[in-house]
Amino acid sequence: MSTATVHAGDALALSSHTRPARPAGATTALAFAWRAVLRIKHVPDQLSDVTVFPLMMLVMFTYLFGGALAGSTADYLQTVLPGILVLTLTMTTQSTAVALNADIAKGVFDRFRSLPIWQPAPLVGALLADLARYAIAAAVIVGSGVLLGFRPDGGIVGLLAGVGVVLAFAWSLSWVWTSLGLLARTPESVMFLAILVTFPLTFVSNVFIDPATLPGWLEAFVDVNPITHVVSAVRGLMHGAPVAAELGWVLLTCAVLVAVFGPLTMRLYRRER
């Protein structure tokens, strides 16, 4: 083969077109969000924690405790539904961390970090997809509750505002588990540690009962539990009660979680594993 032929082949191998512009951060994050949605499409049972689990929790606790705690299931449903909404969304926030840890174990995220893209995009995209999962869970709970007799005194505006508060809190909390997902060695350890924290926080709160009925030392813990403030804010919004103080605490908690664990997550993501 002649030298001229080699040079001609090299020239053909080189593109004469202008290099495409680097994709914007928002576009890249949405692409990764779509990747997470496609994963659900191919593994539909991943939706069980935002469909079957919320419905089971709502029906079980309404009819199990309604008569004993409120005198009737209809009255108890008005109180417990906002609490179940907060509880179920809080307990599903570790899903992104589990999937992230699995991707790391397979080497997928090493490839993502080598791409010329906005580096937070894989994490932000996954968390954006989680918002869709949380919205599905909220729709299941509220829709089922309405069929069972739930009637929010705050109307549709208060109902949507309450759902919005829960979505914001769940998204903020998911940054905590994402940091854990970058530190833990296996997806199982991520799930175990997340449940170890969320289980007592959600059940030792005002989700099911009035804290005033508890022993003093336990009531003190419930009063400072962030889940208690979220539940109180959501109940107040859905039933038209004043919740300025509770809502302020919830928004402050969300801001602190994102401000602390957002940068921490990115630092862990960029480090050498």
Number of domains in the chain: 1
Tell me which residue of 199, 194, 189, 200 sits closest to 173, measured CA to CA: 194
pLDDT band at 273 (very low <50, low <70, confident <90, very high): very low
Answer whether residue 198 is part of any domain: yes
**DSSP H or E segment with residue 175:** helix 155-183
Q: What is the pLDDT of residue 236?
A: 95
Does 3 have pLDDT greater than 70? no
Its pTM stands at: 0.84
Contacts of 19 (CB under 8 A, 6+ apart): none
Residue type, 36: A
Task: Tell me the average pLDDT across 138-145.
Answer: 93
Residue range of the domain that includes 129: 23-270
3-state secondary structure of 93: coil
Answer whether residue 266 is part of any domain: yes
- Give the C-alpha separation, 101 to 82, whole Å: 31
Answer whether residue 161 is part of any domain: yes
Percent of the residues in the chain that have a pLDDT greater than 90, as a whole number: 37
Q: What is the pLDDT of residue 30?
A: 81
pLDDT band at 13 (very low <50, low <70, confident <90, very high): low
Answer whether residue 235 is part of any domain: yes
- Digit-coded pLDDT (tens) for 83-112: 999 999 998 888 878 888 887 777 777 787
- Digit-coded pLDDT (tens) for 167-199: 999 999 999 998 888 888 888 888 888 889 999
Contacts of 223 (CB under 8 A, 6+ apart): 211
Answer whether residue 15 is part of any domain: no
Tell me which residue of 158, 34, 181, 33 sits closest to 93, measured CA to CA: 181
* No. of helices (H) and no. of strands (E), the chain: 12, 0
